[in-house]
Structure 1
Amino acid sequence: MAGIRVGGLASGMDIDQIITDLMKAERMPLDKLAQKKQYLEWQRDDYRSINKSLLELDQLIFDGVLRQSSFSKKTVSVSNPGAVSIKNINSTADFSGSIQVKRLASAASMYSKASSTIDSTAKLSDLGITGPITIEAIGKDGSLNTKQVTIDPEKDTLDTLIVKINSQTDVSAYFDKASGKFSISAKNTGDVAGGPEIVLGGDLNFWSALNMDLTSDDAVANNVGTAGVNAEIVYNGMPIVRSSNTFAINGVEISLKAVTDGPVTFSSATDTDAILDTIVKFVDQYNSLIEKIKGELEEKRYRDFQPLTSEQKDSMNEKDIERWEEKARSGTLRGDSILSGALNKMRMDLYTAVSGIAGKNQLAEIGIKTSSNYMDGGKLVIDTDKLRAALTENPNGVYEIFAKNGGTSAEQGLGRRLRDTIKSTMLNIEKRAGKASSTNNAFTLGRNLLNIDSQINRFEDRLIKVEDRYWRQFTAMEKAIQKANSQSAYLMQQFSY
């Protein structure tokens, strides 16, 4: 750190101000380096903003027009929704039919034959129970699944073991402390053909202490349980048995709620509005991206407005700084080759027909065209009536235009082509501008910034030396003046005699 310097005592000159002014001239190249650094940082941030918008469109495509479920949305009408609920899962074709519910599926259950005197908070070891226990129960597929529950006799109680049973097996257990009875019910409905739906095993002392039969069939025979029952329906005139009240047929989920005296009719229709909304969201996001990229490519560069230095900002108010930097930051990506190339490629991706599709195979045929205003830069415009008609006629065909798989770009759907272009563009931008987690030496602009930082550090070291030299020179001048003043005073004194 430089010491306190006082100049001008002999000369009467403001040496500090003179050197400050001289250093301003010396610092001009340093200010230019700082301005260049600021501009590169703005450029880097603008690139990353474009990448953020590209990623948002990529995710919207993936979650929207590339999902078949987006195009298989249907409205389903049911004549008795209190008895039967129907939801489309992945059926692309419209469906209709009838269901008569003969019997609902129910779950097996069993409970203690007699009350027990077990203290549910006592350690199991005190009850002579060491475990483990096993529980076989009907699974979702209608067959028995065996689950083992381990026991720590010195820590577990009946209460803690019930928690384990409920979380680790296909049954729900409950102990009623008031009556001293224990109950188990299967989590899944249905009947296991030729056998019980619940089988208890392992440490038999545990089940004996609770006065439990070992199978649900035994419990039914002893009037302390109920058997699991399958659902029985008549589907389009054909008898069908299912272990659950909720099941799928031909991509349609059916949920039974109540027994019916006669058939319940149902029919579906394409939910055109929901599918249309998916496509509109894609078009809006694409247009927003096109507008942003086009704006960056055509934004004017004001070369007379360079980034402000700290000293310049100190002499300006906030509004003036804001207006100045708005122009200084303008045009950072003007005419950029990466963005212009991406813009052209995205247009080609969407305008080129998809080969290998019978019937409609390009956007124009389903009511999506390019804006006639060339100033829009290739934005898409939707003819809602034409698109709605295409979706009503063949929603799966519209899905293929966006999502068809193919070995070549020409055979791929428009959404897949667009995602490929987005990914390659994002990669090119990352090579130039990196991302938030990148280190500066990993991308081009970052390496340029490191180089400028190095130049700034070297220049600042040089400025320290220059300032020291100025002070030495002015100090020498002050000494010479002081000496001359002393000699002059001496001569004046001699001549005065």
Structure 2
Amino acid sequence: MRITGLASGMDTESMIKDLMKAQRIPLDKITQKKQYTEWQLEDYRSINRKLNDFSNNLFDTMMKQSTFLAKTVNVSSPDAVSIKSVSGTSEFSGTISVSRLASQASMQSNDSIGKNIDTKLTMSKLGYIGTTGSVTINAIDAGGDLKAENTKTIIFDPSTDTLESVLKKINSESGVSAFYDSFSGKIAMTAKNSGNVVGDVEMQVSGDLATFFNLSTNNVIAEQDGNGKSGVNSKFIFNGLETERSSNSFQINGFEISLKQVTTDPTDSSKTNSVSFSSAPDTDKIVDAVKKFVDNYNKLIEELNAKVREVKYRDFQPLSTEQKADMKEKEIELWEEKAKSGTLKNESILTSMLQSMRSALNSVVEGTSGTLRLSDIGITTSKDYLTNGKLEIDETKLREAINADPNKVYEVFAKPGSTEKDTGLASKIRTSIIQSRTKLTDKAGITGAPNSTFSIGRLLKGYDDQITRFEARLKTIESRYYKQFSAMESAIQRANAQSAQLTNAFSNN
């Protein structure tokens, strides 16, 4: 705490503060530059994130062949058979008749283990003997095979595990579903996967728990004893070929077929109701994907063009803490809105990328059916120069192109190629974005990156160093001012003391 001005009567504290304000002007300018650079950094990173999102979306949609090969399948009897395209690349049509649906193998206890048992009682209380327990189960897999490597051994503690918890472990850890039937007092097990394993069983059970549950060692023995059944394959005729599958759902040529009902009388082959089916391009789905790409592209270039053309208000510099203290909140908001404007005006990385993307969309692709352009599928660049290259869609022409050859539409966007002419337009755009993002990352880094790893970060570090040095210098100057004013006060005190002595001396005479 300093007490000043006692001898001189001057407000030296305020005088020093005013003197220091003048000294702080260069520091305020450095602080303003730092603040503006931080705003720039935020804008660079925001643009970089938007480019990353657009690039990822481009890769997940317009660069995937499956987007353009989406198909609808018309089925004459969808209640009996359903068909959908998963990865089909060619048209799919014909007939299918179902003579048998697939079913799972099952088995039940040979004798009751007790009716109306409280399933929350521990296994020990239910009469299970032994301090530890286990059951080993193997069941048919989704491929229709019984493999040794699929064998699961479930371990439980009879003193703490209840019948309910043991069954839950079996259901979650093995290839079977098990439950206790309180009416019959039996345990029932059903294979999770359907089908018949030729020359083998579909379910095997062993261990102390299997004995306690009165279960046979496999479903074939259980069936012989009247307490089980074997799995059954689905049986059908597909385009004249009689065949089987272990499941009612399977794939042929990239199309998923689900059998729901028998369409053929198993006792009279003449009573066959064939289900016909045929595929076609899913035009609506493909059009929606192209529309979404165009909308996202137009939104992106609109935002980028707005940034590189944003007005820069040079008279509106970042506010200092002292300036903000004298302003209202709304005034600060309006001031900073203009101060932040133009941080990326004429940014060379962005302007170059915009030009590169526009050139890519106006280029040609050497497809398998000849030279292709966006205009061939109904997409053109707007003639309004104020839109800065936004795309427009002629939906009628786009639908015609999809119906005629969806692969052609795919090649326009994402045809893989070894040269620029062979490469699809979306691939060219993504390449341009990736290259630009690398430059933006070198300049502005990513969130959490050390300042030393990118150019703006190094610039900010330089400002921080300047501010630290300048603040140390200001402390030295302020101390010097106080010493100087203190010396002045001391001199005035001495002068006043001498004046008083002289006055006293003359008054005594």
TM-score band, normalised by shorter chain: over 0.9
For 1:466 and 1:454, the matched residues in 2 are separated by: 18
For 1:141 and 1:131, the matched residues in 2 are separated by: 31
Corresponding residue SS for 2:232? coil
For 2:429 and 2:9, the matched residues in 1 are separated by: 74
1:251 and 2:254 correspond: yes
Residues 226-254 of structure 1: CA deviation (Å, up to 9, x unaligned): 22111122223332211111111111111
Q: Is the 8 A contact 1:96 1:267 kept in 2?
A: yes
Q: Which amino acid aligns with 1:137?
A: A
What residue number does 2:368 align with? 357
For 1:222 and 1:62, the matched residues in 2 are separated by: 58
What residue number does 2:445 align with? 434
Q: Which amino acid aligns with 1:22?
A: L
Q: Is the 8 A contact 2:71 2:85 kept in 1?
A: yes
Corresponding residue SS for 2:431? helix
- Runs of 5+ unmatched residues, structure 1: none
Corresponding residue SS for 1:455? helix
What residue number does 1:321 align with? 332
What residue number does 1:122 align with? 123
Q: Is the 8 A contact 1:132 1:148 kept in 2?
A: no
For 1:441 and 1:125, the matched residues in 2 are separated by: 71
For 2:58 and 2:354, the matched residues in 1 are separated by: 17
Shift of 1:322: 1.8
For 2:198 and 2:127, the matched residues in 1 are separated by: 37
For 1:480 and 1:451, the matched residues in 2 are separated by: 43
For 1:423 and 1:189, the matched residues in 2 are separated by: 48
Shift of 1:176: 3.0
1:166 and 2:171 correspond: yes
1:385 and 2:396 correspond: yes
- Structure 1 residues 491 and 129 mapped into 2: Cα distance closer, same or farther (>3 Å)? closer
Q: Is the 8 A contact 2:137 2:204 kept in 1?
A: yes
Q: Is the 8 A contact 2:105 2:219 kept in 1?
A: yes
For 1:228 and 1:77, the matched residues in 2 are separated by: 31
Write out aligned runs for 1:68-83 (5 A): 68-83=65-80
Corresponding residue SS for 2:147? strand
Residues 90-126 of structure 1: CA deviation (Å, up to 9, x unaligned): 1233333222221111111111222235987224995
Q: How many residues align?
A: 492
For 1:467 and 1:434, the matched residues in 2 are separated by: 38
For 2:9 and 2:131, the matched residues in 1 are separated by: 104
TM-score (norm 2): 0.91
What residue number does 2:8 align with? 11
Write out aligned runs for 1:2-81 (5 A): 4-81=1-78
Percent of aligned pairs with the same amino acid: 49
Corresponding residue SS for 2:366? coil
Q: Which amino acid aligns with 2:234?
A: A
Residues 336-382 of structure 1: CA deviation (Å, up to 9, x unaligned): 22112212222222222123432452212111111212232222222
For 1:129 and 1:273, the matched residues in 2 are separated by: 64
- Runs of 5+ unmatched residues, structure 2: 265-272
What residue number does 1:494 align with? 505
1:346 and 2:357 correspond: yes
Q: CA RMSD in A?
A: 2.3
Q: Which amino acid aligns with 1:115?
A: S
Shift of 1:415: 2.0
For 1:211 and 1:150, the matched residues in 2 are separated by: 17
Q: Is the 8 A contact 1:149 1:164 kept in 2?
A: no
Corresponding residue SS for 1:266? strand
Instruction: Pick one of 394, 397, 406 that aligns with 2:405.
Output: 394
For 2:315 and 2:209, the matched residues in 1 are separated by: 89
What residue number does 1:367 align with? 378
Corresponding residue SS for 1:94? coil
For 2:92 and 2:293, the matched residues in 1 are separated by: 28
Residues 301-360 of structure 1: CA deviation (Å, up to 9, x unaligned): 222211111111111122222222122111111122211221222222222212343245
Corresponding residue SS for 1:105? coil
TM-score (norm 1): 0.93
For 2:362 and 2:203, the matched residues in 1 are separated by: 62
1:241 and 2:244 correspond: yes
Write out aligned runs for 1:400-419 (5 A): 400-419=411-430
Instruction: Pick one of 294, 311, 334 that aligns with 1:283.
Output: 294
Q: Which amino acid aligns with 1:246?
A: S
1:151 and 2:155 correspond: yes
What residue number does 1:134 align with? 136
Shift of 1:153: 5.9
Q: Which amino acid aligns with 2:387?
A: D
